[in-house]
């Protein structure tokens, strides 16, 4: 038994059993029980066969050995690649061209925003290294 938000009890098993021949609303022609239907609504493949085939395929499927980001990239693209190390990334960032520079104020502090040619944006606080003495 399942309770609704209003407190009514519904016997879901009885509801499913009463409507198992009803055609489901989907892009696959099947009934509520899971049987694949042919023309005229006749059962073409029973739900038990669909489930059996699914689990056989799932159990016999080869396990993918994806341990690193490189393995995942190779599986998706079909090309072998090597992930950049931190040093390679820093060198590449220095090669990017600054295409826009904007100054703005936030919370009483001045900032400069740099927009690079790859679309990334970096914000740096101006005068961050200076300390005020009271």
CA–CA gap between residue 33 and residue 24 (Å, rounded):
9
pLDDT for res 111: 92
pLDDT for res 87: 54
pLDDT for res 110: 92
DSSP notation for the chain: -EE-TTS-EE-HHHHHHHTTTSBPSSSS-BBTT-PEE-GGG-EEE-HHHHHHHHHHHHHHSPPP---SHHHHHHHHHSS---PPPHHHHHHHHHHSPEEEEEEEEETTEEEEEEEETTS-EEEEETT-S-----
pLDDT for res 19: 86
CA–CA gap between residue 41 and residue 78 (Å, rounded):
43
pLDDT for res 104: 92
pLDDT for res 46: 92
pLDDT for res 61: 73
In the chain, what are the domain boundaries? 2-60, 69-125
Q: Which residues of the chain have pLDDT under 50?
A: 91, 93
pLDDT for res 129: 59
Residue 31's nearest CA partner among 43, 39, 40 is 43
pLDDT for res 6: 93
Task: Give the pLDDT confidence of 3-12 residue by residue, as tens digits.
Answer: 999 999 999 8
């Amino acid at each position: 038994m399942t309770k609704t938000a209003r407190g009514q009890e519904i016997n879901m098993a009885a509801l499913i059993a009463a409507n198992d021949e009803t055609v489901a609303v989907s892009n696959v022609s099947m009934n509520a029980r899971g049987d694949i239907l042919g023309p005229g609504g006749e059962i073409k493949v029973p739900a038990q066969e669909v489930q059996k085939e699914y689990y056989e395929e799932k159990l016999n499927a080869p396990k993918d050995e994806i341990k690193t980001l490189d393995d995942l990239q190779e599986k998706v693209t079909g090309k072998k690649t090597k992930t950049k190390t931190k040093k390679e990334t820093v060198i590449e960032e220095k090669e990017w061209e600054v295409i826009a520079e904007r100054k703005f104020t936030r919370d009483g502090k001045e900032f400069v925003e740099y927009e690079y040619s790859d679309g990334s944006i970096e914000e740096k606080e101006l005068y961050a290294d200076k300390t005020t003495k009271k």
